Structure 1
Amino acid sequence: GGNHLGVVNDVVGVSDLEMQQIATDLGFSETVFIDWTDSALDPAVRIFTPVDELPFAGHPLVGAAWLLGTLGPVPARALRTKVGVVSCSAHGDRALVDASIEITEVRDDVVEVAALAGLAHPERTMRLALPKSYLMARFATFDDVEALDPDMDAFGDVFGFTAFARDGDAVKARFFAPASGIAEDPATGSAAVALAEVFRRWGEPEGSVTITQGDEIGYPSTIELAWMASSTTIGGTVRHDDVVLVP
């Protein structure tokens, strides 16, 4: 289970094109590259999908925070991303990231989501920019989310489509981002950050939920999400898988 992540712990001498090629060759939803060039600052991170670079993604930050806190070379208190600095921590097999980034655009009740979902109309929708465009759709039941068969050709300029249903503090979610080479993602931290903003906008200024994702593609994953009026924290369990030499 879980969402595989590639972590390259030293990018000295590695070009942007080489980073992209490594991410493409690994084929994971994301590969994160850690840059220690400026030793006076917290490490910078670059995040690549198999086809492009992302300014922000939650799952790679959780994985990078855990790796640095567990395997080193030194624990990181914060990571520098292209949308700002996020604080992080790792304890045992878990890592947490304070993913309180700026939401630059919000559009409520985006009706075209029904066409993307290929199902009856969802209960409610919202479009957010983090800064990539996320289309969020709430459905009535977990079964509705499980039954989704979206039209991948209908996404247009939307980076990612999140379908979710909620029952108390339990959320079932699915995330699709075909334009970035991710037909369906097993665990999506950035979508969880967007979900926290959705809950705020829909009248819940603080709370916490456990998100399950990835069952439909055979990689069940869990994300812990907590939010307050101006902060969002994501986290989960991380397991070290393998070490490979990058040519």
Structure 2
Amino acid sequence: MNTTDIDVLRVFCAGDGRHGNALGVVRDGRAYPDEAARQALAKELGFSETVFVDDPERGVVDIYTPGVRLPFAGYPLVGAAWLLDLEVVCPPAGEVWVRGDGEFTWIEARAEWAPPRTLRQYGSAAEVDALTVPEPGEWIYAWAWEEEAAGRIRARGFPGRGDGIDEDEATGAAALLLTAELGRALNITQGRGSQLLTAPGPDGIIELGGRCRLERTIPRQA
């Protein structure tokens, strides 16, 4: 059997390096050549998403939750681009351009690439903090203004999938949808303290940025 490493990243970390959403990156996607094998590994690992790298030179990647394959997802693309030092990543949804500014890694994406989310506004950050995990059902992105003039938002994400991910620590796709709805740059604190930044651009493009760090590497027999 071949050994392939699985890197575990934290994406959308806070300024002190804490928090962020755990992401599995399989550097050699050939070790898991079909959808069934990839879906099984994603379920076993149990991260919100796992990325399989099919072509590290061209940035071709394949993304899975524990239950489904995704054509696009924000935090896996930010994380994979940072880890592999890419200028473009190519999930099934299309080419996603990348830039880095030292502290943050940014991708350019479109809100229509994001899967459906129910954006549910609350009156205060305290109300969002007090929420309990809802029953499985729709994907809910609960949010409230922390400081509207500065574009600061408090948010929590509840996938509602019943696949063991009750709350998503940091959700790039939902941040894109909220940015498109509000039409302005946002500084989002999600989950326990993860930070996501967004900035609308021309022609429907939205930049999504965050900090990344490598947490550990898992040797794996494939």
Cα 1:242–1:93 shift into 2, 3 Å:
farther
Answer yes or no: is 1:212 the counterpart of 2:189. Answer: yes
* Other structure's SS at 2:157 match: strand
CA contact (8 A) 2:140 2:160 kept: no
Deviations 1:179-230 (A, max 9, x none): 1622101100000011111113xxxxxx312100112xxxx21001111352
Residues 4-44 of structure 1, C-alpha deviations (whole Å, 9 max, x = no match): 1101111124221111122112111111111118x6xx221
The match for 2:84 among 68, 72, 82 is 68
- 1:5 corresponds, among 23, 38, 45, to 23
2:218 aligns to what SS in structure 1? coil
Instruction: Classify the secondary structure of the residue corresponding to 2:170.
Output: coil
Partner of 1:43: 59
Alignment match of 2:118 (pick from 122, 135, 150) = 135
Matched residue, 2:10: none
CA displacement at 1:149 relative to structure 2: 2.2
Q: Which has the higher contact order (CA 8 A, sep 6+)?
A: 2
* Structure 2 unpaired stretches of 5+: 1-18
Shift of 1:97: 0.6
Q: TM-score, normalised by structure 1?
A: 0.74
Residues 1:173 and 2:155 are matched in the alignment: yes
Q: What is the rounded CA distance, in whole Å, between the counterparts of 2:22 and 2:98 in structure 1?
A: 20
Contact 1:62 1:96 in 2 (8 A): yes
Query: Which residue in the other structure is 1:32 paired with?
Result: 51
TM-superposed deviation, 1:101:
4.7
Provide the aligned length of Structure 1 versus Structure 2.
197
Q: Identity over aligned residues, as a percent?
A: 34
8 Å contact kept, 1:84–1:101: no
CA positional deviation for 1:99: 1.4
Is the 1:66–1:94 contact (alpha carbons within 8 Å) kept by the matching residues of 2?
Answer: no
* Distance of aligned partners of 1:191 and 1:91 in 2 relative to their CA distance in 1, 3 Å threshold: same
| DSSP 3-state at the match of 2:187 | strand
Name the counterpart of 1:246: 220
Unaligned runs of 5+ in 1: 70-75, 104-129, 201-206
Report the structure, 1 or 2, having the larger strand content: 2
After superposition, what is the alpha-carbon deviation per residue over 1:73-107, rounded to whole angstroms, capped at 9, x for unaligned?
xxx2111122211101235453111112536xxxx
Task: After the TM superposition, list the runs of 4 or more consecutive aligned residues in structure 1 that deviate by more than 3 angstroms.
Answer: 90-93
8 Å Cα contact 1:83/1:101 also seen in 2: no
1:12 is paired with a residue whose SS is helix
- Asked if the contact 1:58/1:189 (under 8 Å) is kept, the reply is yes
**CA–CA distance in 2 between the matches of 1:45 and 1:179?**
23
Taking the aligned partners of 2:216 and 2:134, their CA distance within structure 1 comes to 35
Match of 1:52 among 61, 68, 83: 68
Deviation at 1:246, TM superposition (A): 2.1
CA contact 1:32–1:46 (8 Å) conserved in 2: yes
Whichever of the two has the greater Rg, that structure is 1
2:197 is the counterpart of 1:233: no
Q: Is the 8 A contact 2:158 2:168 kept in 1?
A: yes
2:219 alignment partner, SS class:
coil
Answer yes or no: is 1:16 the counterpart of 2:35: yes
Q: Distance in 1 between matches of 2:50 and 2:42?
A: 5
**Whole-angstrom CA distance in 1 between matches of 2:62 and 2:111:** 16
In 1, distance between residues paired with 2:31 and 2:82? 24
TM-score, normalized by length of structure 2?
Answer: 0.82
Q: CA deviation at 1:177?
A: 0.7
Q: Is the Cα contact below 8 Å between 2:105 and 2:210 reproduced in 1?
A: yes
1:43-192 aligned at under 5 Å gives the runs 43-69=59-85, 76-102=86-112, 130=114, 132-153=115-136, 155=137, 158=138, 160-166=139-145, 167-168=147-148, 169-179=151-161, 181=163, 182-192=165-175
